[in-house]
Amino acid sequence: MSSTATTTITSVRAPITAENILQLFPEIDASLAQSSRQEPSESSELSGYDEEQVRLMDEVCIVLDENDNPIGSASKKICHLMKNIEQGLLHRAFSVFLFDSQNRLLLQQRASEKITFPDMWTNTCCSHPLGIPGETGATLEAATQGVRRAAVRKLDQELGIPAKQVPIDDFHFLTRIHYQAPSNGLWGEHEIDYILFIQADVDVLPNPNEVQATKYVTPQELKDMFEDPKLLFTPWFKLICRTMLFEWWENLSDLSSYTNEQEIRRM
């Protein structure tokens, strides 16, 4: 299986606290305001990338301490630079797993235009709640509602799935995973990732700037994909598949014993 290496979070560094992060990264807007104070993402790091993907790097992510408490907000660009990640900059994310009525999982292959992890296969939708009203939250309950709203927004933006086909209340929150992974030498991920399951038959009209292919798979078909050395997979998707996904999938008809996990899983 071709893959991108996943970094285990073992390096010695200062605790991820609000005080330490705000000292390291004065660019963070600690008010969680709707718009950030960062400079526009016109920089050498983004030179040569797709114009729309560069624009999206100005979106405002929710910066966290290691216990998922919001510290403030910073641009997607600031949050995904590996030099910042290595100093502990951490943000909130979500991963949607959408299953149809035949219990098949909808996968997407990320577009070549993507700045991080281009061309890789992954779960249905992976993105970030933004530091805007409705998508933030300091308590687990509020944060979970925020990521549900963000999931509806991104399923439409990436895959053209109408909001009416994925009602907010139909998303099951399972758990959170804290992981870190490089994309290349410049970019990477360091997230507390909310895992959301939903079962629905939906209309899919992918945005080609985000998604180059989609595919519904059974558990065995997904395992077969992992055996194909020509295919690349995102690191968070591989982590989830190797540890939890197939057990959850087997119990898709009754997830009650797996939902609303309180502890963060450190990967």
What positions carry a catalytic annotation? 126, 191
User: Are the C-beta atoms of residues 144 and 173 closer than 8 Å to each other?
Assistant: yes
Query: Which residues share a beta bridge with 199?
Result: 99
Q: Counting Cβ atoms within 10 Å, is residue 48 exposed (0-12), middle (13-18) or buried (19+)?
A: exposed
* HSE of 221, CA atoms in CB hemisphere, 13 A: 9
Concatenate the DSSP letters of all residues of 160-224 into one string: ---GGGS-GGGPEEEEEEEEEEESSSSBEEEEEEEEEEEE--------TTTEEEEEEE-HHHHHH
Q: Among positive and negative, which fits the CA dihedral 16, 96, 165, 60?
A: positive
Question: Residue 156, Cβ neighbours under 10 Å: how many?
Answer: 17
Distances (CA, A) of 263 to 63, 64, 66, 95, 111: 19, 16, 12, 17, 33
Any residues with CB less than 8 A from the CB of 246 and at least 6 apart, and which?
219
Structure tokens belonging to residue 73: 């907000």
